[in-house]
Amino acid sequence: MPPTLVDQLDLLIRARTPILWIRSLEEERVVALLGQVADLLGGRTLLEWDFIGGLSGAPNRLGEAARNPMAALDALSGLAPEQGAILLLKDFHRYAEDAGICRRLRNLASQLRQVPQTLVISAPDWTLPRELEDSITVLDLPLPDAAEISRLLGSIARASGAPLASEVLEQLTAACHGLSEQRVRQLAARALARRGQLGLDDLNEVLEEKRQAIARSALLEYCPTEATPADIGGLDALKRWLEQRRSAFGEQAQRYGLPLPRGVLLVGPQGTGKSLTAKAIAHGWSMPLLRLDVGRLFAGLVGASEARTREMIQRAEAMAPCVLWIDEIDKGFGGDGRSDGGTSQRVLASLLTWMAEKTSAVFVVATANAVERLPGELLRKGRFDEIFLLDLPSRSERRAILDLQLRRRRPDHAIAMEVVVDRTAGFSGAELEQTVIEAMHLAFGEQRDFGESDLIAAASQVVPLSRTAREQLEQLKQWASAGRARPASLGAEAGSPFATKPQQE
C-alpha cells in the first residue's frame, strides 16, 4: 500500500527537510494534515501565518508579523532551538520574488537542518525562483480519496441525525469523487438546509457542481451532446471496437482483470466524422464530454503552462467517468518545441505521463488531421489503446451517409441515390451533408421539394477536399499504408486514396 500523505509529511519532517511547499488550494485540509503530523511527532507546536491576521497558534504571539512577510520568517527564531515546531505560511509565494525574502529563505534552509523546526508554504501554484529550487521540497495534496469522502459524508450525516445507508453512502461518495473537501462540505450544507438530510436526491446537484467547476476553470469546455453512433454513417470497425470497450468500465470487467480503457486517437481528413465520433462516444456511454482546446494550456509565464496542464488533469479526473476530447491535437503539439523554449514539449511530457499511468476512468479521444506533424512519442503504444484512420467514405458508406442526412430532413424519403453516390466519389461525410443542404436550397428557391436531380446538381457544385488538398491527403495515405493505424471502416473501396494495408497481428 502506498504511503499516505500524513506518512510522507511525517517522514520529511523527521528527516529535517527545512522547507516544504504543499501544492494545494485547500488550506483547511493542509492545516488539518499538519495538525495530525504535529501530534504524531510528539506534540510539536503548529504556528500559522497569513498577511492579514499575522501569527496564530501561540497565545502570547497572536497577530505578530501582520502585514510583514519578512518578520514572519523570524517567527521560528523566537523559539528555543530544541523546541519542535512547524510554521505554516499561507500565500507566501507572492512575496518570494523579493530579493531580501528569497535570501532569508535560503539562509533558513541551512539553519533549519540543524533544529527540529520546519517551514511549510501553502500555495496552489508557484514558479520557484532558481535560487530556491534546491532548498524547497514540493508535495502535492491530491483531492480527497474515496475513503476520506466517505468518512466526511458519514460524519456529516450522523451529526444531522439521519445516518446514511451503506449503499446510499457509496453512491454519494462515488459522485463526489474529484471534488475538494470544501466543495463536499458546501454541497452537504445545502442539502441539509433544503431537506434536513443527505440522500440520493443530491446526486444531480453534485453533477451540477462538477459542471460549474469545469466552467470556472476556462481550460475545459463541458459539451452537452445528443449524438449517437446511429448518427454516424459507416465506420463499422470503429463502432464495433468502441462497443467492446464500453463494458470495460464496469465492475464485472474489473473483477475479470481488464484495465480501464485509456483512449483512442482518430486521424483522417477533415469532415470524416472525428468530432462527431467523440460526441457519440460520450452520449453512447452515458458519460460527460469535456473538450480541451490544447491552445488554452499555453500561458505566457514560465511554468504556468505546466500548472495549467496539472489543473486540467485534476479537473478531468474530478468528472470521471468521463470522455476527454482533445480536439486537433496536431495543432498543439505538431510544431518545433524549440520555438517556444520547450514549453510545448514539457506540457506534452506531462500529458503523456498521465495518459500512460492514469488509473481514473477518463477516456481520452484525440483527433488529428495532419498526423505527420505529431511527435512519435504520442503515437507509441501505451498512450492510446488504438489509432484509427477515418477514411473518405466508400461507396456503401456514402450511400449510408446520404440516406442518414436525407432521413433527418425527410424521414419517409424515397429518393433514388445510385447516381448521386457515383457522382460523390472522394467526398467526405461533411461534404455529403453539404450536398444535401445545397440541393434543398436549389429546390426551395423554386418553391418545390427536392429530389435526385437536385442532389446531382448540388454534387457538381461542391469541390471536395480530395481535390483541393490532394498533396496533404497523399501524405496521410503514405503514413497509413505502413500499418500505423487501423481502418475505421470494415472494408475500403477499391481505388480509394486511403485504402490501407491490413495490420500485422
Convert the pLDDT of each residue in 291-306 to its tens digit.
Answer: 998 888 886 555 678 8
* Three-class secondary structure of residue 20 per DSSP: strand
> What is the pLDDT averaged over residues 83-99?
94
User: 35-49, 52-66, 336-350, 437-451: which has the minimum mean pLDDT?
Assistant: 336-350
Cell readout for 290 is 469535456
Using CA atoms of 412, 414, 415, 421 in order, give the dihedral in degrees to the nearest 10. Answer: 90
- The H helix count followed by the E strand count for the chain is 21, 13
Confidence label for 42 from pLDDT (cuts 50, 70 and 90): very high
Cell readout for 191 is 442539502
- Domain 5-140 fold is Rossmann fold (3.40.50)
Distance (Å, rounded) from C-alpha 168 to C-alpha 48? 38
Tell if the pTM clears 0.95, that is, is over it: no
First-to-last alpha carbon distance for the chain, in angstroms, is 37
pLDDT at 151 over 90: yes
In DSSP terms, 48 is beta-bridged to 56, 88
Q: Which range scores top for mean pLDDT: 88-92, 321-325, 332-336, 340-344? A: 88-92
Q: Which range scores top for mean pLDDT: 45-54, 161-170, 324-333, 356-365? A: 45-54
Same fold, 5-140 and 229-389: yes
User: For residue 291, what are the contacts with CB-CB under 8 A and spacing of at least 6?
Assistant: 220, 221, 222, 223, 325, 327
Distance (Å, rounded) from C-alpha 329 to C-alpha 263? 14
- Considering only the C-alpha atoms of the chain, give the largest distance between any 2 of them, rounded to a whole number of Å: 95
* Three-class secondary structure of residue 54 per DSSP: strand
Report strand pairing: 263-267 vs 362-368.
Answer: parallel
> What is the pLDDT averaged over residues 413-419?
91
Domain segments of the chain: what residues?
5-140, 146-217, 229-389, 395-467
Buried b (16+ CB within 10 A) or exposed e, 224-236: ebebebebbbbbb
Distance (Å, rounded) from C-alpha 499 to C-alpha 505? 18
**CATH number 1.10.8.60 is the correct assignment for the domain at 395-467:** yes
Report strand pairing: 54-56 vs 45-50.
Answer: antiparallel
pLDDT at 127 over 80: yes
Cell readout for 192 is 441539509
Confidence label for 55 from pLDDT (cuts 50, 70 and 90): very high
**CATH number 3.40.50.300 is the correct assignment for the domain at 229-389:** yes
Are the C-beta atoms of 273 and 367 separated by less than 8 Å? no
- On average, the pLDDT of the chain sits at 87
Distance (Å, rounded) from C-alpha 69 to C-alpha 73? 7
Dihedral angle sign, alpha carbons of residues 130, 131, 134, 140: negative
Q: How far is CA 366 from the centre of its chain?
A: 12
pLDDT per position as a tens digit, 362-375: 999 999 988 878 88
Are the C-beta atoms of 372 and 476 separated by less than 8 Å? yes
**DSSP label at residue 99:** H
Phi, psi of 417 (to 5 degrees): -125, 0
